[in-house]
Amino acid sequence: MRPLLAALLGLLLCAAPASAGEQLLTLYSPPIDSLPYVHRTETVELKPDGKAAPAQPGSILGFQEMALVDSKRPDAKPLPVDKMMVHHFLYYAGGRVDPGPGGCLGGGFIAGRGEEHPNGRFDAAWPPEQRARYGIQNVMHDGSAPRWTLQTMVMNHYQRSKRFFVRTKVWYTTEPREPLYPITVGNCAHLMNGMAYDVPGGGAPGSTFSDRSTWTVPFNGRILGGGSHHHGGALNQTLRSVTCGRTLLDAKAYYGADDHPYNTIRPILHEPGPIANGTFRTLQGIPVTAGETLEREAVHSNAQLHVAAMGFWALHLVRDDTVTPCGPMPTDLREVTVPPVYDTAAPYVFDRLVPQLLAPRGRWRAFDGRRLEVGDQFFAKPRLTARVGQKLTWEFTGYEPHSVTVANGPRGFSSSYLGNTRGRYSFTPTVPGTYKLTCLIHPTTMSQTVKVKRT
Ligand SMILES: [Cu+2]
C-alpha cells in the first residue's frame, strides 16, 4: 500500500498546478448607483485594502469572474443581463513597476469585461499552467500594492435606480512570477472616442467595412493569448504578422439565438452586441520578435449602419529572447470561448433596427445654418429639415454628457459615444432620407429627427 500511496501522492503533486501561493481573492467595488435606461460611464477607485483590490504587492495570475451583484453575500448570483446589462468593465492599475508597452489603453490597463462576456466568467482564459508561471506585476515603485480604478458602463433595465457592486474574483500571489503584459492593440486614433468608430452602412448586401491598424512588437517574446473586442456589425477580426506574412489569430463574432436576452431585452437601447468574440490561448505562445509589424483588421458588415462600433485586441505578451524570427506557430493554440449556443446562420444578417425611443415633437423647422443646441435632456429643434450637402453643427451646452447619434436612418454617424458637455459636432449628409437621432447616454428621453432632402 505504501508505495502505491507514495506514487499517488507523487502523481497528485505533479498533476497539481505548481500554483505556489496562489489565492483566489474576492473583491468588491464601492456601491455604484445607476439610473434606468441611462448609459453612463462611472469610474470608481478600488483601494488596496484587501477588500476592493489586493493589499499586498504581488502578481495577478488571472481573473476568474467579473460580475455585477446587488449584495456582498459570497453566494450572491450575478444580476441577470436582461436587467443589468454590462456594457463594459475596465480595470486599471496605473503607476506600476514594469507595466509593459500597454497599447492604446496604456500600461495601466490590466483587464476588462465586454458585452461579449455575458456571464462574466473568465476561467478558460487563465489556465492553471499559465498562472503557475506568469502574472501581471502588481507593485508600485515604492514597493506597495497599487490602487486600482474600475470604469463601468451598465445599462439598467429595471424601471428604477439600482445600486450595484462589481464583484471581482482574482487569482493572486505574493510569490514571484514572470511578467505578463496586457496590451490593447487597436487603432489608437479612436481613443478620444472611447475607441469607437462608426460604420456608415448603406452598402450592398454582403459588403464590408474594415478598421485597420498596425502595431510594432517592442521586444522578443510570445503571445500567450488574445481576446477580440469587436462589435457593431462585427463579422471577424484578424491579427496578422505583416513581417512574417501569416495570420496569427482570427476571431469570429458570435451572435445570440433569437431567444438570447440580448435579442429579447426591451427597450432596445443599442444594437445587440455579439455574445462572444474569439478568445485564444496557447501555453507555447506565438513567437514574435522586436520590430515585427502586426496588423489587425476588424471586419464589419456595411449593409446597415452601426454606430459606436469597436474593434481591438487585448493581447497577453511575455518576454522571451529564445524566439527566432517567424518561428513556428504553436501547436496548442486554441479558442476558449465558443459559446455552447449561438446563431449559426451564415452570413449573419444584421436586421435588428435600433428604434428612436422618444418621438420628437413640435413643428418642423428648416435648417437655417445656425448651430443646433444639445442641452440637458433636449435637442433644441427636435424636428428639422435640411438638404444634402448642408453642414449641420450641433453645440453641446448641458451639464450632463450627451451625444448626437443616429438610431436609424440612411447612414450612421455619431459624436463621441462617451458624450460631451461642451464643444461642437458636425455632420454633412450626402444621402437624403430620414435620420432618426438619439442621445446614446439618454436614449429614452432625447431625440431629434432630421429629414434630409435632395438639393
Ligand atoms: Cu443625453
Q: Where are the domains of the chain?
A: 19-335, 365-453
- Bridge partners of residue 383, in order along the sequence: 449
Provide the strand spans (E) within 1-115: 23-28, 32-34, 41-46, 58-69, 84-92, 109-114
67 Cα to the center of ligand 1, angstroms: 27
Cα distance between residue 143 and residue 134, in whole Å: 19
- The mean pLDDT value of the chain amounts to 94
- Position 346 scores a pLDDT of 80
Cell numbers that stand for 291 in this block: 520590430
pLDDT digits (tens, 9 = 90+) for 57-89: 999 999 999 999 999 999 999 999 999 999 999
Percent of the chain residues topping a pLDDT of 70: 96
Q: What CATH code is assigned to 365-453?
A: 2.60.40.420
The answer to whether residues 154 and 86 touch, using CB atoms and an 8 Å cutoff, is: yes
pLDDT at 3: 47
Cα 123 to averaged position of ligand 1 atoms, centre (Å): 37
Taking only the tens place, the pLDDT of each residue in 179-202 is 999 999 999 999 999 999 999 999
Q: Ligand 1 centroid to 438 CA: how many Å?
A: 8
φ, ψ at 11 (rounded to 5°): -60, -45
**CB neighbours of residue 297 within 10 Å:** 17
| pLDDT (0 to 100) of residue 336 | 96
Return the CATH class of domain 19-335. mainly beta
Whether the pLDDT of residue 165 is over 60: the answer is yes
Give the residue-averaged pLDDT of 418-430: 96
The yes-or-no verdict on residue 124 having pLDDT over 90 is yes
423 backbone φψ class: left, alpha, beta (φ>0; ψ -120 to 50): left
Could you tell me the pLDDT band of residue 417, with boundaries at 50, 70 and 90?
confident
- Ligand 1 mean position to 246 CA, how many Å? 44
Distance 402 CA to ligand 1 centre (A): 4
pLDDT value at position 14?
42
For residue 352, the model assigns a pLDDT of 84
**Predicted local distance difference test score (pLDDT) of residue 13:** 44
- Reported as a single tens digit per residue, the pLDDT across 301-354 is 999 999 999 999 999 999 999 999 999 999 999 999 899 999 998 888 888 889
Q: How far is the CA of 76 from the centre of ligand 1 (A)?
A: 33
Which tens digits make up the pLDDT trace of 242-276? 999 999 999 999 999 999 999 999 999 889 999 99
Ligand 1 mean position, distance from CA 1 (Å)? 73
For residue 325, report the distance from its CA to the centre of ligand 1, in Å: 50
Give percent of the chain above pLDDT 90: 91
Give distance in angstroms: CA of 427 to centre of ligand 1: 18
Q: How much is the pLDDT for 50?
A: 98
Written as nine digits, the cell of 288 is 514574435
Q: What pLDDT band is residue 19 in, cutting at 50, 70 and 90?
A: low
3 state DSSP class of 365:
strand
* 283 pLDDT higher than 80: yes
Give the pLDDT confidence score for residue 18 in this predicted structure. 47
How far is the centre of ligand 1, averaged over its atoms, from the C-alpha of 307 (Å)? 16
Taking the centre of ligand 1 as the mean of its atom positions, its distance from the CA of residue 445, in whole angstroms, is 8
C-alpha cell at 174: 505574493
Residues 368-390, mean pLDDT to the nearest whole number: 98
Residues 161 and 67: beta-carbon distance below 8 Å:
no
Residues 32, 113 contacting (CB under 8 angstroms) = no
- Find the largest Cα–Cα distance for the chain: 93
- Helix, strand or coil for residue 2? helix
pLDDT of the residue at 15: 42
